[in-house]
Amino acid sequence: MNPYSTRRNFLKSTAQASALVAMNKAIPLSAQAKAFALEEITINELQAGMKSGKFTAHSITEMYLARIAEIDRPRINSVIEVNPDALSIAAQMDQERASGKVRGPLHGIPILIKDNIDTADKMQTTAGSLALANTIAPRDATIMAQLRAAGAVLLGKTNLSEWANFRSSKSTSGWSGRGGLTRNPYALDRNTSGSSAGSGAATAANLCAISIGTETDGSIVSPSSCNSLVGIKPTLGLVSRAGIIPIAHSQDTAGPMTRTVADAAILLGALTGIDTRDNATASSRGRFLNDYTQFLDANGLKGARIGIARNYFGFSERVDKLINEAIDTIKRLGAVVIDTELPNKGKYDDDEFEVLLYEFKADMSAYLATRGASAPVKSLQDLIEFNEKNRDRELQYFNQDTMIKAASKGDLNTPAYKQALAKSKQLTQSQGIDAALAKQNLDALVAPTDGIPWLTDFLNGDHFAGGCSTPPAVSGYPHVTVPAGYIHGLPVGVSFFGAPWSEGKLIKYAYAFEQATKHRKTPQFLPTVNLQT
Protein backbone atom coordinates (compact mmCIF):
# COMPACT_ATOMS: atom_id res chain seq x y z
CA MET A 1 0.00 0.00 0.00
CA ASN A 2 1.00 3.64 -0.38
CA PRO A 3 3.08 4.31 2.75
CA TYR A 4 2.06 7.94 2.80
CA SER A 5 -1.67 7.29 2.86
CA THR A 6 -2.02 4.07 4.81
CA ARG A 7 0.00 5.26 7.77
CA ARG A 8 -2.15 8.33 8.30
CA ASN A 9 -5.08 7.30 10.48
CA PHE A 10 -8.05 9.35 11.52
CA LEU A 11 -7.00 11.46 14.45
CA LYS A 12 -8.72 13.10 17.35
CA SER A 13 -7.64 15.93 19.58
CA THR A 14 -5.45 14.52 22.32
CA ALA A 15 -4.05 15.46 25.68
CA GLN A 16 -0.72 16.08 23.98
CA ALA A 17 -2.28 18.52 21.53
CA SER A 18 -3.94 20.34 24.42
CA ALA A 19 -0.65 20.51 26.28
CA LEU A 20 1.01 21.91 23.17
CA VAL A 21 -1.60 24.63 22.89
CA ALA A 22 -1.14 25.54 26.56
CA MET A 23 2.61 25.64 26.13
CA ASN A 24 2.37 27.89 23.08
CA LYS A 25 0.00 30.29 24.83
CA ALA A 26 2.68 30.80 27.45
CA ILE A 27 5.24 31.98 24.89
CA PRO A 28 4.42 35.50 23.65
CA LEU A 29 5.57 36.60 20.22
CA SER A 30 7.65 39.73 20.63
CA ALA A 31 6.97 42.93 18.74
CA GLN A 32 10.43 42.58 17.20
CA ALA A 33 9.48 39.22 15.67
CA LYS A 34 6.17 40.60 14.43
CA ALA A 35 7.83 43.54 12.70
CA PHE A 36 10.53 41.61 10.87
CA ALA A 37 12.24 43.83 8.31
CA LEU A 38 12.59 41.03 5.73
CA GLU A 39 9.08 39.65 6.03
CA GLU A 40 7.92 38.13 2.72
CA ILE A 41 10.89 39.62 0.88
CA THR A 42 11.80 38.03 -2.46
CA ILE A 43 15.11 37.17 -4.09
CA ASN A 44 14.80 40.06 -6.53
CA GLU A 45 14.02 42.50 -3.72
CA LEU A 46 17.03 41.29 -1.75
CA GLN A 47 19.25 41.65 -4.80
CA ALA A 48 17.96 45.17 -5.42
CA GLY A 49 18.66 46.03 -1.78
CA MET A 50 22.22 44.73 -1.96
CA LYS A 51 22.83 46.54 -5.24
CA SER A 52 21.60 49.85 -3.80
CA GLY A 53 23.51 49.45 -0.54
CA LYS A 54 20.39 49.17 1.59
CA PHE A 55 21.44 45.63 2.53
CA THR A 56 24.55 43.53 2.49
CA ALA A 57 24.62 39.75 2.43
CA HIS A 58 26.08 39.98 5.94
CA SER A 59 23.29 42.20 7.26
CA ILE A 60 20.61 40.01 5.66
CA THR A 61 22.16 36.90 7.14
CA GLU A 62 22.39 38.57 10.55
CA MET A 63 18.69 39.42 10.41
CA TYR A 64 17.66 35.87 9.52
CA LEU A 65 19.90 34.39 12.21
CA ALA A 66 18.41 36.78 14.77
CA ARG A 67 14.88 35.80 13.72
CA ILE A 68 15.73 32.11 14.02
CA ALA A 69 17.06 32.74 17.53
CA GLU A 70 14.01 34.85 18.41
CA ILE A 71 11.16 32.62 17.35
CA ASP A 72 12.21 29.22 16.03
CA ARG A 73 13.18 27.10 19.01
CA PRO A 74 10.41 28.24 21.38
CA ARG A 75 7.66 28.23 18.77
CA ILE A 76 8.05 26.19 15.57
CA ASN A 77 11.30 24.23 15.98
CA SER A 78 12.07 24.06 12.26
CA VAL A 79 15.84 24.63 12.19
CA ILE A 80 17.79 21.61 13.41
CA GLU A 81 21.20 23.29 13.17
CA VAL A 82 22.56 26.74 12.35
CA ASN A 83 25.65 27.02 10.16
CA PRO A 84 28.51 28.53 12.23
CA ASP A 85 30.09 29.75 9.00
CA ALA A 86 27.01 31.57 7.66
CA LEU A 87 28.26 35.08 8.45
CA SER A 88 31.72 34.42 7.03
CA ILE A 89 30.18 33.09 3.80
CA ALA A 90 28.02 36.20 3.61
CA ALA A 91 31.05 38.44 4.18
CA GLN A 92 32.84 36.70 1.32
CA MET A 93 29.87 37.33 -0.97
CA ASP A 94 29.96 41.02 0.02
CA GLN A 95 33.66 41.22 -0.80
CA GLU A 96 33.04 39.72 -4.22
CA ARG A 97 30.19 42.14 -4.89
CA ALA A 98 32.39 45.08 -3.87
CA SER A 99 35.01 43.93 -6.36
CA GLY A 100 32.44 43.79 -9.15
CA LYS A 101 31.75 40.07 -9.13
CA VAL A 102 28.14 38.92 -8.76
CA ARG A 103 27.73 35.21 -9.38
CA GLY A 104 24.05 35.35 -10.26
CA PRO A 105 20.59 35.77 -8.75
CA LEU A 106 21.44 33.70 -5.65
CA HIS A 107 24.57 35.71 -4.79
CA GLY A 108 24.32 36.51 -1.05
CA ILE A 109 20.87 34.95 -0.65
CA PRO A 110 20.38 32.99 2.62
CA ILE A 111 19.00 29.48 2.21
CA LEU A 112 18.03 26.60 4.49
CA ILE A 113 18.36 22.99 3.37
CA LYS A 114 16.84 19.79 4.68
CA ASP A 115 18.97 17.71 7.04
CA ASN A 116 19.25 14.81 4.61
CA ILE A 117 21.49 16.78 2.22
CA ASP A 118 25.23 16.27 2.71
CA THR A 119 27.41 19.25 3.59
CA ALA A 120 31.16 18.85 4.02
CA ASP A 121 31.46 21.62 6.60
CA LYS A 122 30.98 22.02 10.35
CA MET A 123 27.37 20.81 10.25
CA GLN A 124 26.01 17.30 10.67
CA THR A 125 23.93 15.42 8.12
CA THR A 126 21.65 13.02 9.98
CA ALA A 127 18.17 12.71 8.41
CA GLY A 128 17.02 13.62 11.91
CA SER A 129 18.36 10.39 13.39
CA LEU A 130 20.55 10.06 16.43
CA ALA A 131 22.25 7.19 14.61
CA LEU A 132 24.19 9.71 12.51
CA ALA A 133 24.50 12.42 15.15
CA ASN A 134 27.90 14.09 15.46
CA THR A 135 29.05 12.82 12.07
CA ILE A 136 30.08 14.97 9.12
CA ALA A 137 29.59 14.03 5.46
CA PRO A 138 32.92 13.77 3.62
CA ARG A 139 31.66 15.61 0.55
CA ASP A 140 28.97 18.13 -0.37
CA ALA A 141 25.87 16.85 -2.12
CA THR A 142 25.98 17.94 -5.74
CA ILE A 143 23.14 20.41 -5.25
CA MET A 144 24.94 21.88 -2.25
CA ALA A 145 28.06 22.39 -4.36
CA GLN A 146 25.88 24.08 -6.99
CA LEU A 147 24.30 26.37 -4.42
CA ARG A 148 27.70 27.37 -3.05
CA ALA A 149 28.93 28.06 -6.58
CA ALA A 150 25.85 30.21 -7.18
CA GLY A 151 26.73 32.35 -4.16
CA ALA A 152 23.96 31.23 -1.81
CA VAL A 153 24.58 31.64 1.92
CA LEU A 154 23.84 28.41 3.76
CA LEU A 155 22.07 29.48 6.98
CA GLY A 156 21.66 25.98 8.34
CA LYS A 157 19.65 22.79 8.11
CA THR A 158 16.00 22.10 8.72
CA ASN A 159 14.30 19.42 10.75
CA LEU A 160 12.38 16.69 8.95
CA SER A 161 10.31 13.61 9.50
CA GLU A 162 13.08 11.22 10.50
CA TRP A 163 14.54 9.20 7.60
CA ALA A 164 12.23 11.23 5.35
CA ASN A 165 9.17 9.58 6.92
CA PHE A 166 10.10 6.04 5.94
CA ARG A 167 10.34 4.36 9.32
CA SER A 168 6.83 3.62 10.57
CA SER A 169 3.29 3.13 9.31
CA LYS A 170 2.06 5.20 12.29
CA SER A 171 4.50 8.10 12.15
CA THR A 172 3.93 11.70 13.17
CA SER A 173 5.20 13.95 10.39
CA GLY A 174 7.69 16.62 11.36
CA TRP A 175 9.22 14.65 14.24
CA SER A 176 12.75 13.32 14.44
CA GLY A 177 14.75 11.82 17.26
CA ARG A 178 17.44 14.45 16.87
CA GLY A 179 15.26 17.47 16.14
CA GLY A 180 11.98 16.90 17.97
CA LEU A 181 8.67 18.15 16.57
CA THR A 182 8.30 20.92 14.00
CA ARG A 183 5.03 22.85 14.36
CA ASN A 184 2.92 24.59 11.76
CA PRO A 185 3.40 28.39 12.02
CA TYR A 186 -0.22 29.02 11.00
CA ALA A 187 -1.53 27.08 14.03
CA LEU A 188 1.03 25.56 16.36
CA ASP A 189 -1.06 22.53 17.25
CA ARG A 190 -1.38 21.61 13.56
CA ASN A 191 1.00 19.47 11.55
CA THR A 192 3.48 20.74 8.98
CA SER A 193 3.15 17.53 6.98
CA GLY A 194 6.28 15.69 5.94
CA SER A 195 8.89 14.90 5.32
CA SER A 196 10.27 18.37 4.44
CA ALA A 197 8.52 19.75 7.50
CA GLY A 198 11.28 22.07 8.66
CA SER A 199 11.89 23.54 5.22
CA GLY A 200 8.17 24.25 4.90
CA ALA A 201 7.68 25.79 8.33
CA ALA A 202 10.91 27.81 8.27
CA THR A 203 10.23 29.33 4.85
CA ALA A 204 6.62 30.11 5.75
CA ALA A 205 7.82 31.78 8.97
CA ASN A 206 10.36 33.94 7.09
CA LEU A 207 13.39 32.34 8.75
CA CYS A 208 15.17 32.27 5.38
CA ALA A 209 14.76 33.63 1.89
CA ILE A 210 14.30 30.21 0.26
CA SER A 211 14.72 26.54 1.10
CA ILE A 212 15.28 23.08 -0.34
CA GLY A 213 13.15 20.02 0.35
CA THR A 214 13.21 16.46 -0.96
CA GLU A 215 10.39 14.21 -2.08
CA THR A 216 9.71 10.53 -2.64
CA ASP A 217 5.93 10.89 -2.55
CA GLY A 218 4.50 14.18 -1.33
CA SER A 219 7.38 15.42 0.81
CA ILE A 220 7.89 18.69 -1.09
CA VAL A 221 4.36 19.43 -2.25
CA SER A 222 2.48 18.40 0.90
CA PRO A 223 4.43 20.55 3.39
CA SER A 224 4.37 23.35 0.82
CA SER A 225 0.59 23.12 0.68
CA CYS A 226 0.29 22.94 4.48
CA ASN A 227 2.57 25.99 4.90
CA SER A 228 1.17 28.19 2.10
CA LEU A 229 4.26 27.86 -0.10
CA VAL A 230 5.18 27.21 -3.68
CA GLY A 231 6.83 23.81 -4.06
CA ILE A 232 8.35 22.23 -7.16
CA LYS A 233 8.86 18.46 -7.36
CA PRO A 234 10.95 18.20 -10.54
CA THR A 235 11.02 15.49 -13.17
CA LEU A 236 13.17 12.59 -12.00
CA GLY A 237 16.68 13.29 -13.30
CA LEU A 238 16.38 17.05 -13.59
CA VAL A 239 18.16 17.53 -10.24
CA SER A 240 21.01 15.39 -8.93
CA ARG A 241 20.40 13.24 -5.85
CA ALA A 242 24.10 12.52 -5.21
CA GLY A 243 24.86 13.12 -1.55
CA ILE A 244 21.21 13.09 -0.45
CA ILE A 245 20.14 10.45 2.07
CA PRO A 246 17.76 8.27 0.02
CA ILE A 247 14.53 6.40 0.22
CA ALA A 248 14.19 5.16 -3.36
CA HIS A 249 16.10 6.04 -6.52
CA SER A 250 13.08 5.50 -8.78
CA GLN A 251 11.20 8.37 -7.09
CA ASP A 252 13.54 10.55 -4.99
CA THR A 253 14.28 14.13 -5.98
CA ALA A 254 15.11 17.47 -4.37
CA GLY A 255 13.36 20.72 -5.22
CA PRO A 256 12.56 24.32 -4.26
CA MET A 257 10.25 25.42 -1.44
CA THR A 258 9.64 29.17 -1.56
CA ARG A 259 7.08 31.88 -0.87
CA THR A 260 6.67 32.86 -4.54
CA VAL A 261 6.71 31.17 -7.92
CA ALA A 262 9.41 33.57 -9.13
CA ASP A 263 11.73 32.54 -6.31
CA ALA A 264 11.06 28.86 -7.02
CA ALA A 265 11.91 29.40 -10.70
CA ILE A 266 15.18 31.12 -9.81
CA LEU A 267 16.15 28.39 -7.36
CA LEU A 268 15.26 25.54 -9.72
CA GLY A 269 17.61 26.95 -12.35
CA ALA A 270 20.52 26.71 -9.93
CA LEU A 271 19.87 23.02 -9.22
CA THR A 272 19.75 21.50 -12.70
CA GLY A 273 22.49 19.89 -14.80
CA ILE A 274 24.23 16.64 -15.70
CA ASP A 275 26.02 14.96 -12.79
CA THR A 276 28.26 11.92 -13.23
CA ARG A 277 27.48 11.02 -9.60
CA ASP A 278 23.80 10.49 -10.48
CA ASN A 279 23.17 8.56 -13.69
CA ALA A 280 19.52 9.64 -13.78
CA THR A 281 20.58 13.19 -14.69
CA ALA A 282 21.83 11.97 -18.09
CA SER A 283 18.19 11.85 -19.18
CA SER A 284 17.95 15.63 -18.71
CA ARG A 285 20.55 16.34 -21.41
CA GLY A 286 19.06 18.84 -23.86
CA ARG A 287 16.05 19.27 -21.59
CA PHE A 288 17.27 21.10 -18.48
CA LEU A 289 17.50 24.88 -18.24
CA ASN A 290 19.55 27.12 -15.99
CA ASP A 291 16.91 29.85 -16.10
CA TYR A 292 13.23 29.14 -15.58
CA THR A 293 12.29 32.78 -15.01
CA GLN A 294 11.55 33.08 -18.73
CA PHE A 295 8.26 31.29 -17.96
CA LEU A 296 7.02 33.90 -15.49
CA ASP A 297 4.10 35.11 -17.59
CA ALA A 298 1.08 36.64 -15.84
CA ASN A 299 -0.99 35.74 -18.93
CA GLY A 300 0.42 32.24 -19.02
CA LEU A 301 -2.90 30.43 -18.59
CA LYS A 302 -4.50 32.05 -21.63
CA GLY A 303 -5.31 29.34 -24.15
CA ALA A 304 -3.93 26.51 -22.02
CA ARG A 305 -5.93 23.29 -21.92
CA ILE A 306 -6.18 22.29 -18.27
CA GLY A 307 -7.65 18.98 -17.15
CA ILE A 308 -9.29 18.81 -13.74
CA ALA A 309 -8.53 15.41 -12.20
CA ARG A 310 -11.96 15.03 -10.58
CA ASN A 311 -11.24 11.61 -9.08
CA TYR A 312 -8.73 13.33 -6.77
CA PHE A 313 -11.47 15.50 -5.26
CA GLY A 314 -14.16 14.45 -2.80
CA PHE A 315 -12.18 13.87 0.40
CA SER A 316 -13.23 17.24 1.88
CA GLU A 317 -16.16 19.51 0.99
CA ARG A 318 -14.23 22.56 2.19
CA VAL A 319 -11.18 21.70 0.11
CA ASP A 320 -13.37 20.99 -2.93
CA LYS A 321 -15.01 24.42 -2.58
CA LEU A 322 -11.66 26.18 -2.35
CA ILE A 323 -10.15 24.35 -5.34
CA ASN A 324 -13.29 24.89 -7.40
CA GLU A 325 -12.85 28.61 -6.74
CA ALA A 326 -9.28 28.24 -7.99
CA ILE A 327 -10.59 26.55 -11.12
CA ASP A 328 -12.96 29.48 -11.70
CA THR A 329 -9.92 31.76 -11.58
CA ILE A 330 -8.06 29.52 -14.03
CA LYS A 331 -11.04 29.82 -16.41
CA ARG A 332 -11.18 33.58 -15.95
CA LEU A 333 -7.51 33.77 -16.88
CA GLY A 334 -8.30 32.30 -20.28
CA ALA A 335 -7.65 28.58 -19.86
CA VAL A 336 -9.86 25.93 -21.41
CA VAL A 337 -10.90 23.81 -18.42
CA ILE A 338 -11.96 20.21 -18.99
CA ASP A 339 -13.17 17.80 -16.34
CA THR A 340 -11.36 14.47 -16.57
CA GLU A 341 -10.20 11.54 -14.50
CA LEU A 342 -6.67 10.30 -14.00
CA PRO A 343 -6.63 6.56 -14.77
CA ASN A 344 -5.62 3.79 -12.37
CA LYS A 345 -6.08 5.61 -9.08
CA GLY A 346 -5.41 3.15 -6.26
CA LYS A 347 -4.30 0.34 -8.58
CA TYR A 348 -0.58 0.70 -7.93
CA ASP A 349 -0.39 1.71 -4.26
CA ASP A 350 0.78 -1.73 -3.15
CA ASP A 351 3.33 -1.84 -5.96
CA GLU A 352 4.70 1.58 -5.05
CA PHE A 353 5.22 0.52 -1.46
CA GLU A 354 6.88 -2.72 -2.54
CA VAL A 355 9.31 -0.78 -4.75
CA LEU A 356 10.13 1.65 -1.96
CA LEU A 357 10.85 -1.17 0.48
CA TYR A 358 13.31 -2.86 -1.86
CA GLU A 359 15.01 0.35 -2.94
CA PHE A 360 15.24 1.73 0.59
CA LYS A 361 17.20 -1.32 1.71
CA ALA A 362 19.59 -1.15 -1.26
CA ASP A 363 19.92 2.62 -1.50
CA MET A 364 20.41 3.20 2.22
CA SER A 365 23.26 0.71 2.37
CA ALA A 366 24.87 2.34 -0.66
CA TYR A 367 24.54 5.78 0.91
CA LEU A 368 25.90 4.73 4.31
CA ALA A 369 28.97 3.34 2.56
CA THR A 370 29.77 6.87 1.38
CA ARG A 371 29.92 8.11 4.97
CA GLY A 372 32.99 6.03 5.71
CA ALA A 373 34.34 5.03 9.11
CA SER A 374 32.83 8.03 10.90
CA ALA A 375 29.28 6.69 10.57
CA PRO A 376 28.45 4.28 13.41
CA VAL A 377 25.85 2.47 11.26
CA LYS A 378 26.70 0.70 7.99
CA SER A 379 23.41 -0.86 6.89
CA LEU A 380 19.66 -0.76 7.33
CA GLN A 381 19.93 -3.58 9.86
CA ASP A 382 22.41 -1.48 11.85
CA LEU A 383 19.86 1.36 11.92
CA ILE A 384 17.13 -0.95 13.19
CA GLU A 385 19.40 -2.26 15.94
CA PHE A 386 20.47 1.26 16.90
CA ASN A 387 16.84 2.32 17.27
CA GLU A 388 16.08 -0.68 19.48
CA LYS A 389 19.06 0.07 21.71
CA ASN A 390 17.94 3.71 21.96
CA ARG A 391 14.22 3.02 22.19
CA ASP A 392 13.61 5.69 24.84
CA ARG A 393 14.74 8.44 22.45
CA GLU A 394 14.10 7.03 18.98
CA LEU A 395 10.98 4.91 19.44
CA GLN A 396 9.17 6.87 22.13
CA TYR A 397 6.22 7.85 19.90
CA PHE A 398 6.11 5.31 17.06
CA ASN A 399 7.92 2.17 15.99
CA GLN A 400 9.96 1.14 12.92
CA ASP A 401 7.78 -1.47 11.21
CA THR A 402 8.45 0.01 7.76
CA MET A 403 12.21 -0.29 8.20
CA ILE A 404 11.82 -3.88 9.41
CA LYS A 405 9.74 -4.75 6.33
CA ALA A 406 12.39 -3.19 4.08
CA ALA A 407 15.19 -5.12 5.78
CA SER A 408 13.39 -8.41 5.03
CA LYS A 409 13.43 -7.79 1.28
CA GLY A 410 15.86 -9.26 -1.23
CA ASP A 411 18.08 -7.39 -3.66
CA LEU A 412 17.08 -5.42 -6.75
CA ASN A 413 17.30 -8.51 -8.96
CA THR A 414 14.30 -10.02 -7.19
CA PRO A 415 11.45 -10.68 -9.69
CA ALA A 416 8.82 -9.29 -7.30
CA TYR A 417 10.66 -5.95 -7.20
CA LYS A 418 11.10 -5.76 -10.97
CA GLN A 419 7.44 -6.60 -11.56
CA ALA A 420 6.20 -4.01 -9.06
CA LEU A 421 8.46 -1.34 -10.55
CA ALA A 422 7.36 -2.05 -14.12
CA LYS A 423 3.68 -2.12 -13.16
CA SER A 424 3.74 1.10 -11.14
CA LYS A 425 5.60 2.99 -13.86
CA GLN A 426 3.27 1.74 -16.60
CA LEU A 427 0.11 2.58 -14.67
CA THR A 428 1.29 6.11 -13.83
CA GLN A 429 3.13 6.97 -17.06
CA SER A 430 1.83 5.59 -20.40
CA GLN A 431 -1.47 4.39 -18.93
CA GLY A 432 -1.76 7.21 -16.41
CA ILE A 433 -0.69 10.84 -16.82
CA ASP A 434 0.37 10.42 -20.46
CA ALA A 435 -2.99 8.83 -21.33
CA ALA A 436 -4.99 11.52 -19.52
CA LEU A 437 -3.11 14.31 -21.28
CA ALA A 438 -3.38 12.70 -24.72
CA LYS A 439 -7.06 11.79 -24.49
CA GLN A 440 -8.20 15.42 -24.49
CA ASN A 441 -5.04 17.13 -25.73
CA LEU A 442 -4.32 18.64 -22.32
CA ASP A 443 -1.35 20.79 -21.32
CA ALA A 444 -1.50 19.95 -17.61
CA LEU A 445 -3.66 18.50 -14.86
CA VAL A 446 -5.00 20.25 -11.76
CA ALA A 447 -6.14 18.82 -8.42
CA PRO A 448 -6.05 19.63 -4.69
CA THR A 449 -2.48 19.21 -3.45
CA ASP A 450 -3.44 18.05 0.02
CA GLY A 451 -6.05 18.33 2.72
CA ILE A 452 -6.30 20.78 5.60
CA PRO A 453 -3.32 20.60 8.02
CA TRP A 454 -4.33 18.14 10.71
CA LEU A 455 -3.89 18.24 14.47
CA THR A 456 -0.58 16.73 15.53
CA ASP A 457 -1.24 13.57 17.51
CA PHE A 458 1.54 11.28 18.72
CA LEU A 459 -0.94 8.63 19.87
CA ASN A 460 -2.57 7.96 16.50
CA GLY A 461 -0.08 9.34 14.00
CA ASP A 462 -0.88 11.39 10.92
CA HIS A 463 -4.28 11.97 9.41
CA PHE A 464 -3.87 12.38 5.68
CA ALA A 465 -7.26 13.06 4.15
CA GLY A 466 -6.34 13.10 0.45
CA GLY A 467 -4.23 14.69 -2.24
CA CYS A 468 -2.64 14.15 -5.64
CA SER A 469 1.06 13.66 -4.94
CA THR A 470 1.25 9.96 -5.81
CA PRO A 471 0.74 9.92 -9.63
CA PRO A 472 3.51 12.46 -10.39
CA ALA A 473 5.72 10.96 -7.67
CA VAL A 474 5.54 7.37 -8.93
CA SER A 475 5.75 8.38 -12.59
CA GLY A 476 8.69 10.68 -11.91
CA TYR A 477 6.86 13.57 -13.59
CA PRO A 478 6.93 17.24 -12.46
CA HIS A 479 4.52 18.71 -9.94
CA VAL A 480 4.08 22.33 -8.83
CA THR A 481 1.89 23.45 -5.95
CA VAL A 482 0.87 27.04 -5.26
CA PRO A 483 -1.24 28.55 -2.44
CA ALA A 484 -4.97 28.32 -3.17
CA GLY A 485 -6.26 30.00 -0.02
CA TYR A 486 -7.18 29.16 3.56
CA ILE A 487 -9.81 27.24 5.49
CA HIS A 488 -10.25 28.70 8.99
CA GLY A 489 -6.81 30.23 8.54
CA LEU A 490 -5.14 26.94 7.54
CA PRO A 491 -3.40 26.80 4.15
CA VAL A 492 -4.39 24.64 1.19
CA GLY A 493 -2.56 24.38 -2.12
CA VAL A 494 -3.59 23.68 -5.70
CA SER A 495 -1.45 21.46 -7.91
CA PHE A 496 -0.38 21.68 -11.54
CA PHE A 497 1.29 18.54 -12.88
CA GLY A 498 1.93 17.03 -16.27
CA ALA A 499 4.35 15.49 -18.75
CA PRO A 500 8.05 14.92 -18.03
CA TRP A 501 10.30 17.96 -18.49
CA SER A 502 7.27 20.30 -18.53
CA GLU A 503 8.51 22.37 -15.55
CA GLY A 504 8.46 25.53 -17.68
CA LYS A 505 4.81 25.10 -18.57
CA LEU A 506 3.81 24.32 -15.00
CA ILE A 507 5.73 27.33 -13.67
CA LYS A 508 3.95 29.52 -16.22
CA TYR A 509 0.52 28.30 -15.15
CA ALA A 510 1.31 28.50 -11.43
CA TYR A 511 2.71 32.03 -11.82
CA ALA A 512 -0.35 33.25 -13.71
CA PHE A 513 -2.60 31.84 -10.99
CA GLU A 514 -0.44 33.27 -8.20
CA GLN A 515 -0.33 36.75 -9.71
CA ALA A 516 -4.10 36.80 -10.17
CA THR A 517 -4.86 35.68 -6.63
CA LYS A 518 -1.95 36.57 -4.29
CA HIS A 519 -3.37 34.18 -1.70
CA ARG A 520 -0.30 33.80 0.49
CA LYS A 521 -0.51 35.40 3.95
CA THR A 522 2.21 35.58 6.58
CA PRO A 523 1.62 33.15 9.48
CA GLN A 524 0.75 34.57 12.89
CA PHE A 525 1.94 31.64 15.06
CA LEU A 526 -1.51 31.15 16.56
CA PRO A 527 -1.71 28.51 19.29
CA THR A 528 -4.73 26.91 17.65
CA VAL A 529 -7.42 27.57 15.03
CA ASN A 530 -10.42 29.76 15.79
CA LEU A 531 -13.20 27.77 14.14
CA GLN A 532 -15.58 30.71 14.50
CA THR A 533 -13.72 32.71 11.81
Q: What is the DSSP string of 28-88?
A: PPPHHHHT-TTTT--HHHHHHHHHHTS--HHHHHHHHHHHIIIIIIIII--EEEE-TTHHH
Q: What does the pLDDT read at residue 530?
A: 82
According to DSSP, residue 452 is labeled P
28 and 494 Cβ atoms separated by less than 8 Å:
no
d(CA 173, CA 193): 5
Has 114 been annotated as catalytic?
Answer: yes
Say which of 168, 171, 196, 219 is annotated catalytic: 219
> Which segments of 212-298 does DSSP mark as H helices, in order?
221-226, 261-271
Residue of 171, 173, 195, 228 marked catalytic: 195
Task: Give the residue from 172, 211, 206 showing the smallest Cα distance to 190.
Answer: 172
The predicted pLDDT at position 533 comes to: 60
Q: Which residues pair with 340 in a beta bridge?
A: 309
Assess whether 170 carries a catalytic annotation.
no
Beta-carbon-side half-sphere exposure of residue 85 (alpha carbons within 13 Å): 12
CB atoms within 10 A of CB 285: 10
**Looking at 5, 78, 114, 173, which residue is catalytic?**
114
The reported pLDDT for the residue numbered 34 is 59
Output the tens digit of pLDDT for each of the chain's 533 residues. 343 333 333 233 333 333 443 333 434 554 444 589 999 999 999 999 999 999 999 999 999 999 999 999 999 999 999 999 999 999 999 999 999 999 999 999 999 999 999 999 999 999 999 999 999 999 999 999 999 999 999 999 999 999 999 999 999 999 999 999 999 999 999 999 999 999 999 999 999 999 999 999 999 999 999 999 999 999 999 999 999 999 999 999 999 999 999 999 999 999 999 999 999 999 999 999 999 999 999 999 999 999 999 999 999 999 999 999 999 999 999 999 999 999 999 999 999 999 999 999 999 999 999 998 888 999 999 999 999 999 999 999 999 999 999 999 999 999 999 999 999 999 999 999 999 999 999 999 999 999 999 999 999 999 999 999 999 999 999 999 999 999 999 999 999 999 999 999 999 999 999 999 999 999 999 999 988 76
User: From residue 459, how far is each of 219, 290, 443, 468, 517 by CA, in Å?
Assistant: 22, 45, 43, 26, 38
**Under 8 Å between Cβ of 111 and 188:** no
Taken in order of first residue, the domains within the chain and their CATH numbers are 3-517 (3.90.1300.10)
User: How far is it, in rounded angstroms, from Cα 270 to Cα 240?
Assistant: 11
pLDDT at residue 7 in the model: 34
Is 430 a known active-site residue?
A: no
